[in-house]
Homo-oligomer: A and B are copies of this chain.
Amino acid sequence: MNFLSNHIFSTLKTIPQGSDNRGTGLLLQAGFIRQEMAGVYIFLPMGLRVLRNIESIIRDELDAIGAQEILMTALGSKEHWMTTGRWDQEKMDILFHVPASRSKEYALNPTHEEIVTPLMNEFVRSYKNLPAAVYQFQTKFRNEVRAKSGLLRGREFLMKDLYSFHETSEHLDVYFEKVREAYVSIFNRLEIGDKTHYAFASGGAFSKYSYEFQTELGIGEDTLYVCDACGQKVNNELIQDNNFICPSCEHTSAHTITTSEVGNIFKLGDKFSKDFQLKTSTKDGSNIIPVMGCYGIGVSRLMGVIAEIFADDVGLIWPKAIAPYTDYILVQCDNKKSAIQLALQLEKSGKKVLIDDRDMGFGKKAKDADLFGIPNRIVISEKTLAKGGYELKVRGSSVETIVQYDFDI
């Protein structure tokens, strides 16, 4: 359990002026994050707990489909970026070039095909080594001209990126579907499944289409066309001259929704395998060039999206699975001992408890409790003890119920 009286990062009375949006404003007000520069954020203890909880759900689902966690690098080799032609800032304008001693230069990686492909070159030599899938949680860097929208568009941000390697496109298709299902589970566990849509998007230089997970969000930077016939979603970057043609059913009328991209999945074909001369032997002894898939989730962006979606007028509201704590206990006067006893009991059943033992009035504490968005608010006071228990209020509901202790207090 943790005690709020030890907490350094106090809340603010109001949302800071000039906050990019309500979610970011509340994250700032509640002391979850601070801006170091535009698009570059510091995570304070409660924010970091949320971030790690999101990571943990993603890790869980990716381990379940046999992907292996590694940690690549922030600095990239210029040589590798030259190999794929993406060192050129005309081709990749968001790539930071970092001058180093002895006239060297490094990249600050915004994505990791240039790192993972040469890495895997050593290990995927035979069809027996395939499929191979690796992922990481890594800080990414983008030289954005404009960085607004709080955690939604960063110059520095946390991403999960997964790369898979396959003998044939059919094998890739099978794994691709597995990842899609894992993503659906992830967004469901984050409680944004119902608002998150699978959409066609541009395939860039690699294929006709890529696929995105887009979450409905008023402040999102993307627009999806929703086919009026079959409901298929299509990123507006695919719509030319306002002429919508559904890639699923060829229907031509659609309406639009505003969204934020939380995940994307790409079939890369053999672009990077070719560049880095990846070759594996097949069962019959010939050599083939493996095909690749890549799959991203914006971890820090997800935190911003979720903050924005669930917040109400008085503060943040976290889904249980990623809340910084599951239970907040508001202690009044001399009831700290009862609070600690209750917290110990709760922690036995896997709860994470924050005890608000600060020397301040009920009103101020209750206001912070709303702001933090911890699912369960528990009040222990003379009044509740007289009623034989504690008062439980679930964040987002207005009902206060008295819960009996199932142990002596």
- Interface positions of A (Cβ within 8 A of B): 6-10, 34, 36-37, 40-45, 48, 51, 66, 68-77, 93, 96-102, 106, 108, 115, 119-120, 122-124, 129, 132, 134, 139, 141, 143-145, 155-156
Shortest distance between the CB of A333 and any CB in chain B (Å): 20
Residue of B nearest to A133 (CB): B8
The CB with the most chain B CB atoms within 10 A, among A72, A97, A101, is that of A101
- Given the known inter-chain contacts A8-B129, A10-B123, A101-B144, please indicate yes or no for A42 contacting B75, CB distance below 8 A: no
Residue of B nearest to A155 (CB): B75
- Given the known inter-chain contacts A101-B145, A123-B10, please indicate yes or no for A48 contacting B69, CB distance below 8 A: yes
B36 touches A75 (CB 8 A): yes
Apart from A8-B123, A36-B76, A108-B108, 7 more pairs, CB < 8 Å: A9-B68, A10-B123, A36-B77, A37-B77, A74-B141, A74-B156, A102-B145
The CB with the most chain B CB atoms within 10 A, among A71, A106, A115, A123, is that of A71
B100 touches A71 (CB 8 A): no
Q: Which B residues are in CB contact (< 8 Å) with A68?
A: 6-9, 45
The CB with the most chain B CB atoms within 10 A, among A45, A75, A98, A155, is that of A75
16 of the cross-chain contacts (CB-CB < 8 Å) are A6-B68, A8-B132, A9-B68, A34-B119, A36-B73, A37-B73, A40-B73, A74-B74, A74-B139, A74-B141, A75-B141, A75-B155, A96-B99, A97-B99, A98-B98, A100-B155
Shortest distance between the CB of A321 and any CB in chain B (Å): 20
Residue of B nearest to A77 (CB): B37
Shortest distance between the CB of A4 and any CB in chain B (Å): 12
Shortest distance between the CB of A160 and any CB in chain B (Å): 14
Shortest distance between the CB of A119 and any CB in chain B (Å): 6
A98 touches B96 (CB 8 A): yes
Complex Cα distance, B8 from A101, in Å, reads 35
Residue of B nearest to A45 (CB): B68
Shortest distance between the CB of A304 and any CB in chain B (Å): 15
A71 touches B96 (CB 8 A): no
Residue of B nearest to A63 (CB): B2
Q: Which B residues are in CB contact (< 8 Å) with A145?
A: 101-102
Complex Cα distance, B255 from A99, in Å, reads 42
Shortest distance between the CB of A64 and any CB in chain B (Å): 12
Q: Which B residues are in CB contact (< 8 Å) with A120?
A: 8
- Given the known inter-chain contacts A75-B40, A115-B36, A132-B8, please indicate yes or no for A70 contacting B48, CB distance below 8 A: yes
A42 CB contact (under 8 Å) in B6, B93, B115, B139? B115
The CB with the most chain B CB atoms within 10 A, among A102, A120, A155, is that of A155
Complex Cα distance, B77 from A147, in Å, reads 15
A100 touches B36 (CB 8 A): no
B102 touches A98 (CB 8 A): no
Shortest distance between the CB of A148 and any CB in chain B (Å): 14
Q: Which B residues are in CB contact (< 8 Å) with A156?
A: 73-75
- Given the known inter-chain contacts A42-B119, A134-B8, please indicate yes or no for A71 contacting B51, CB distance below 8 A: yes
A66 touches B6 (CB 8 A): yes
Shortest distance between the CB of A70 and any CB in chain B (Å): 5
Complex Cα distance, B10 from A120, in Å, reads 11
A72 touches B108 (CB 8 A): no
Name the 4 nearest CB pairs between A and B, nearest first. A43-B71, A36-B73, A101-B145, A8-B132
Complex Cα distance, B74 from A77, in Å, reads 18
The CB with the most chain B CB atoms within 10 A, among A69, A70, A93, A108, is that of A70
Q: Which B residues are in CB contact (< 8 Å) with A74?
A: 74, 139, 141, 156
Residue of B nearest to A51 (CB): B71
Q: Which B residues are in CB contact (< 8 Å) with A37?
A: 73, 75, 77, 106
Q: Which B residues are in CB contact (< 8 Å) with A101?
A: 93, 143-145
Shortest distance between the CB of A306 and any CB in chain B (Å): 18
